[in-house]
Amino acid sequence: MLVKDPNAIPDKWGKRPSDRSVGELLRGGVLILDKPPGPTSHQATAWVRDALKVDRIGHGGTLDPYVSGVLPITVGKAVRLTDVVLSSDKEYICLMRLHADRPEKRIREVVSRFQGKIYQLPPVRSAVKRQLRIRTIKELEVLDIRGRDVLLRIECDAGTYARTLCVDIGDVLGCGANMVELRRTRSGKMTEQRAASLQDIRDAYVFWQQNGRGEWLRSLLLPMEVLVEPLPKVVVKATAVDAVCHGADLNICGVHMLDEGIRKNALVAMMTARGELIALGRMAMSAEKVMASSQGKAVDTERVFMEEGHYPRMWKYSTDLEEFQEPVFPE
């Protein structure tokens, strides 16, 4: 990261996300559910809500009822980060069935053509408007071919339809094809290796309530910060954290570090030096300009997640200048 102010005071407040209790994680955390085929994403999310006895819950990236795999479940204030999950790239394992025999060499050659940018028209039975759009297939690997069955690994943009991809491949092969089975193995940074079943989630919660031991449930709950891992980061000075918590925009004087190459208007995560999410915002200027400037606004604050008072107040509000100024160090 680029260091704007190497002389910023050490961050001795707050708490690292990895040190949060089960209760704190339930007020703002993420579960990776291994959704079974059968229920809708909404039904599976409702079952998790009942198992954890939480009020606010959401899911990121709807899976069709017959599709299994990674379904991120957000709880508490992490629900406001669901749109970040929706925009993350995905990985699937897909079983495609051809409607006629084709040579293996020909199948592999045609499949390779679909890697990169492709045009897709969402299927008739979909939750989005049917209009032609561009999606990127980052990786498309043939894992196995047995007769007319082709096993594929697909790494793609959010909003890519695997069943439409199968139909398109079948059309190019001249024999037709359809998707038989689909499993999502990754959503953003969340993989199936960390996914838990509905029964595991319920049992872990009951064990925590009855025995007071939350190790199992805590191993299933991730801090909400994992959802912003794909976003560029701006590390805020400890002296400016509470001002941002009150809704203030972040001025250049409050920037400690930031990722290199951030463009103006980019969505960024404002973090503490301990790795806590403070807020989301839009860059008011590029990272290069932030490093070259000594004053001005660096980030427009959009959504605040950290509670006021989590860090001490080290700023004052100037009615003359109508802006937050820092620092005013506490006694």
CA distance 34 to 68: 7
DSSP assignment of 114-149, as one string? TSEEEEE---SSSSS----EEEEEEEEEEEEEETTE
Amino acid letter, residue 122: P
Spot the catalytic one: 5, 11, 64, 300.
Answer: 64
101, with CB counted inside 10 A (0-12, 13-18, 19+), is exposed
Query: Residue 255 in contact with residue 238, Cβ under 8 Å?
Result: no
Query: Residue 30 in contact with residue 73, Cβ under 8 Å?
Result: yes
Query: Residue 237 in contact with residue 8, Cβ under 8 Å?
Result: yes
64 is catalytic: yes
Q: Rounded to the nearest 5 degrees, what angle is found at the Cα of 173, between the Cα atoms of 167 and 177?
A: 30
CA distance 179 to 141: 15
Distances in Å between the Cα of 16 and the Cα atoms of 19, 20, 37, 175, 271 are 5, 7, 36, 56, 11
CA 326 from chain centre, in angstroms, equals 32
Both tokens assigned to 160? 């890519």
Other beta carbons within 10 Å of 56: 14
Task: Show which residues are catalytic.
Answer: 64
